[in-house]
């Protein structure tokens, strides 16, 4: 039997999703897209999962589309990759961004093409110091996809985003952290320990409140200050009605650690 292209585990309120095609640096095939879509859908419908962690097996995180599936013999028609974006990459990014809980990405090695932009679609990105981020698309005549043209300029500013996307140069994990592209770079041998500890920590936090923070941040990209102030009022109304808010206040006044349930 062949290895599953995506590994999926649940423990302590954390779902861990591992891209698992290490021989090609976890590049995407139709099969791996389907397996990832299934994992993301299982996470979305499981109320016991309060944090998701995405990583890659082997020495790379993800090298984007598997280019073996894009070779065209002379005289053959070009593949319809717009359809591939519509059917697989866009739903993947929408599914990741749509998860209500915090999504951590542990970038264990090179993240190129759609692999880089999948990482940037996550809420908190930790990267091994040896990892690199490459907007590789321009090197094969493509446009960055998987939300990269939306995410990257917002993270690093338009000047850096334009150069990264037009030159396809690798950005080290430390540089990425310095530029605000990711949360932080950590030693290679501590990446998974730190990412798992962070995921478990978040899974024990007031996760309904964290989901509302995600909604506020997502909306802020398209809102005016006035609209955002109104949204903050509405989200705070919801947050203020949660059991976790009541518990947080009680625990503070009792001078004891809170016991959050995510409700
Ligand atoms: O088509 C659509 O549906 C549209 C969607 C597009 C989304 C995209 O992501 S387009 C961008 C596709 N990705 C790339 O262009 C990146 C290609 N890979 C690289 O440039 C390099 O491999 C890396 C910079 C990522 C890593 O370099 P390095 O030197 O660390 O590793 P390597 O030796 O190049 O790769 C290791 C193996 O993985 C190697 O196989 P081998 O020689 O050991 O048998 C290499 O061929 C394979 N590999 C790496 N990336 C891909 C790949 N095989 C297939 N597809 C890949 N994308």
Q: Domains plus CATH for the chain?
A: 6-203 (3.90.226.10), 207-254 (1.10.12)
Which residues of the chain register pLDDT less than 50? Answer: none
Q: 145 CB under 6 A from ligand 1?
A: yes
Within 13 A of 77's CA, how many CA atoms are on the CB side?
A: 3
- Which residue is listed with tokens 């962690």? 53
CA of 67 to the centre of ligand 1 (A): 7
User: How far, CA to CA in Å, does 153 sit from each of 139, 162, 190, 247?
Assistant: 19, 8, 29, 39
Tell me, rounded to whole angstroms, the distance of Cα 29 from its chain centroid: 19
pLDDT of 22 reads 98
User: How far, CA to CA in Å, does 42 sit from each of 39, 89, 99?
Assistant: 5, 18, 11
Q: 57 CB under 6 A from ligand 1?
A: no
List, for residues 107-162, the tens digit of each pLDDT value.
999 999 999 999 999 999 999 999 999 999 999 999 999 999 999 999 999 999 99
pLDDT of 79 reads 87
pLDDT of 218 reads 95
Cβ-based neighbours of 244, under 8 Å, separated by 6 or more: 206, 207, 208, 209, 258, 260, 261, 262, 263
Q: 110 CB under 6 A from ligand 1?
A: yes
Q: 62 CB under 6 A from ligand 1?
A: no
> Phi then psi for 229, rounded to 5 degrees?
-60, -40
Q: 70 CB under 6 A from ligand 1?
A: yes
* Ligand 1 atom with least separation from CA of 89: 5
pLDDT of 61 reads 99
């Amino acid at each position: 039997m062949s290895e599953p292209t995506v590994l999926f585990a649940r423990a302590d309120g954390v779902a861990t999703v591992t891209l698992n095609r290490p021989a090609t640096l976890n590049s995407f095939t139709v099969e791996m897209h389907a397996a990832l879509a299934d994992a993301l859908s299982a996470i979305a419908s499981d109320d016991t999962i309060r944090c998701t962690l995405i990583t890659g097996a082997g020495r790379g995180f993800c090298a984007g589309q598997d280019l073996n599936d894009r070779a065209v013999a002379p005289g053959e028609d070009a593949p319809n990759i717009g359809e591939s974006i519509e059917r697989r990459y866009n739903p993947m990014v929408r599914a990741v961004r749509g998860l209500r809980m915090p999504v951590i990405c542990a970038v264990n090695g090179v993240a190129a093409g759609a692999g880089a932009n999948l990482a940037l679609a996550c809420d908190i990105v930790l990267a091994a110091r040896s990892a690199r981020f490459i907007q590789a698309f321009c090197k094969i005549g493509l446009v960055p996809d998987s939300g990269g043209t939306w995410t990257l300029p917002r993270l690093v500013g338009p000047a850096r985003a334009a150069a990264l996307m037009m030159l396809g140069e690798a950005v080290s994990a430390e540089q990425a952290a310095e530029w605000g592209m990711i949360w932080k770079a950590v030693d290679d041998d501590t990446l998974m320990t730190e990412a798992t500890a962070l995921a478990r920590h978040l899974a024990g936090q007031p996760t309904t409140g964290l989901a509302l923070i995600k909604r506020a941040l997502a909306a802020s990209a398209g809102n005016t200050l006035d609209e955002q102030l109104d949204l903050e009022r509405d989200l705070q109304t919801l947050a203020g009605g949660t059991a976790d808010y009541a518990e947080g206040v009680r625990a503070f006044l009792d001078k004891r650690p809170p016991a959050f349930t995510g409700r």
